[in-house]
Amino acid sequence: MRRVAVVGAGMTKFGKHMDRGLKSLGKEAVDSAMKAAGVEMPDIEAAIVGNATAGLITGQEMIRAQVILRDMGFGDIPMINTENACASSSTAFHLAWMYVASGMYDCVLALGVEKLYHEEKKRSFQAIGSAVDIEAIKELMARTAERGRSETEAKKADDAGGGGKAGGAGESRSMFMDFYAASAREHMKRHGTTAIQFAKVAVKSHANAALNPNAQYRETYTVEEILASPMVAEPLTRLMCSPIGDGAAALILVSEEKARQLTTKPVWVTASILGSGKDREKGEPGVTTRMANKAYAMAGVGPEDIDVIELHDASAPAELIEYEELGLCKVGDGGKLIEEGATEITGKIPVNPSGGLLSKGHPIGATGCAQLVEVYWQLQGECGDRQVKGGNAKVGLTQNGGGMMKGEAAAMAIHVLER
C-alpha cells in the first residue's frame, strides 16, 4: 500500500441554510479544498461523496454525487455515493484513501454534504430515526427506556415525558438522544458519573465553538445554564444534545509523489479503519474500542501519542464515555478526565477543539469529513484562537460512528493523521 496524504481541505459554515441546496453547499466546500490543495478539476481522478438523508429530506435518493458534482464541471471520473448514517463521509474518506493507497489513482476528492433542515421538523427527526433496524424499533425503544432505571424511575420519567416510550422520540426529537440518555444513566449508576460532569463537557464544547467561525452555535454557557435548559431525555438537557443542521466539508487526498509536488507540509493518513458493530460476548469491547485498537496498531501509535481528537459527541455523555472507549483513561474515569480539564484546548489531550457535534453542528453526512478537516487544520497550525499545542500538534485522531444496532454503532470509522 502507498502512503497517502491530505493536501487541502475546505468546509462551509454549519447551520440552518434553508435557501441553499446540496449543490451550493458542496461546491463551496469543494472549491475551498481544491484552492487550498493547489489542484484543478482535471487533477481529480475520482470523487467519493458521503450523504445520509437526501432521499428522505430532498427526494434525491440516487446519483447524489453525480448531481452535486456535475454542475461544477466534473465528468467522466468515477463518482461513488456512500451512505453509512452519521459515518457517511468518513466512509467516503476511507474509500478515497483506499483508491490512492492501492495505486489506482493519485488524486481523489472526498466530500460530505447534508441538508437536514426541513420546514417540517418532524421529517428531519424521522430521517435520523431511520438509522436503526426498523423491523426491531419497537423492541429497541422499549429496552432503551428501561436501561439504567428502576421500574419506579422509568415510570416517573415516562410520565414526565422524558422516558423514551413517549415524549416525542422520533417526532419532536431524535430517538438517538434516548439511546445516549440510556448509556448516560448506566454510566452514572455503574461509575458514579454525575450530570454536572456531563454538563462540563457541554460547557467545553460551546466555549470551543465560540472560537470557530464555521460553528453552528457560538454562544457560551455555564454548568448551571446547561443543567437548567429543557430536559430532552433524562439526564440529557437540550444543551447536552447535538442540533440538526446543514453543511459540507471536503478533502483532497493524494499519493506521496503527488504530495511532494504540491506542498512542503503534507499531512499523512497513517490509519484508516472502517468497521461494523457485531453480536458480542459478555465483556467483549465495543466497536469503538475494537476499531480504535486496529487504528493504533496500523499507525504505530497509542492513545498517549495523540495530540488532538475530534470524536463523535452527538451528546455530552457520548464524549465522556468515548474517552474511555478510545483508551484515553480507564473505564469509569471519563468524569475525572473532564474534571481535570485534560480535554480542554489547553489540556494534555484536547478533544473537539472545533466545538464538536454538540456546538459546531451535526449535518449527518458532512460530519465525518468535517472532523477530518478540523484535525488537518490543527496539524497545519491553521486554527487561530482554538489552535492546540501551540501549533505543534503532530498526531490527530477522528472517531465517527453511524447508526445504532443492538446497543452499539452500526458503522465506525477511526482515522489517524500525522504531519
Angle CA(161)–CA(166)–CA(167) in degrees, nearest 5? 40
pLDDT for residue 281? 87
Cα–Cα distance between 254 and 245 in angstroms, integer? 30
Q: How many CB atoms lie within 10 A of CB 317?
A: 29
Q: Is 86 a catalytic residue?
A: yes
pLDDT for residue 157? 53
Name the amino acid, one letter, at 192: G
CB 295 within 8 A of CB 325: no
Cα–Cα distance between 10 and 251 in angstroms, integer? 7
Q: How many CB atoms lie within 10 A of CB 265?
A: 12
- SS3 state of residue 120: coil
| The C-alpha cell that represents 71 in the structure block | 454542475
Q: How many CB atoms lie within 10 A of CB 382?
A: 12
Name the amino acid, one letter, at 306: I
Cα–Cα distance between 142 and 126 in angstroms, integer? 18
Cα–Cα distance between 124 and 370 in angstroms, integer? 20
pLDDT for residue 46? 98
Name the amino acid, one letter, at 387: Q
| The C-alpha cell that represents 84 in the structure block | 453509512
**HSE value, Cβ hemisphere, 13 Å, CA-based, for 204:** 28
Q: Is 362 a catalytic residue?
A: yes
pLDDT for residue 166? 40
The dihedral region occupied by 403, where left means phi > 0, alpha psi between -120 and 50, and beta the remainder, is left
CB 249 within 8 A of CB 111: yes
Q: Which residues pair with 312 in a beta bridge?
A: none
Per-residue pLDDT of the chain (419 residues; tens, 9 = 90+): 999 999 999 999 999 999 999 999 999 999 999 999 999 999 999 999 999 999 999 999 999 999 999 999 999 999 999 999 999 999 999 999 999 999 999 999 999 999 998 888 788 888 888 888 888 776 766 666 666 654 445 555 555 444 444 455 555 567 889 989 999 999 999 999 999 999 999 999 999 999 999 999 999 999 999 999 999 999 999 999 999 999 999 999 999 999 999 999 999 999 999 999 999 888 899 999 999 999 999 999 999 999 999 999 999 999 999 999 999 999 999 999 999 999 999 999 999 999 999 999 999 999 999 999 999 999 999 999 999 999 999 999 999 999 999 889 999 999 999 99
CB 416 within 8 A of CB 137: no
- Beta-sheet pairing, 236-237 with 79-82: unpaired
**HSE value, Cβ hemisphere, 13 Å, CA-based, for 46:** 19
Angle CA(8)–CA(25)–CA(53) in degrees, nearest 5? 110
From 187, 206, 362, 415, the catalytic residue: 362
| The C-alpha cell that represents 13 in the structure block | 459554515
Q: How many residues does the chain have?
A: 419
Nearest to 207 by CA among 343, 334, 320: 343
**HSE value, Cβ hemisphere, 13 Å, CA-based, for 303:** 17
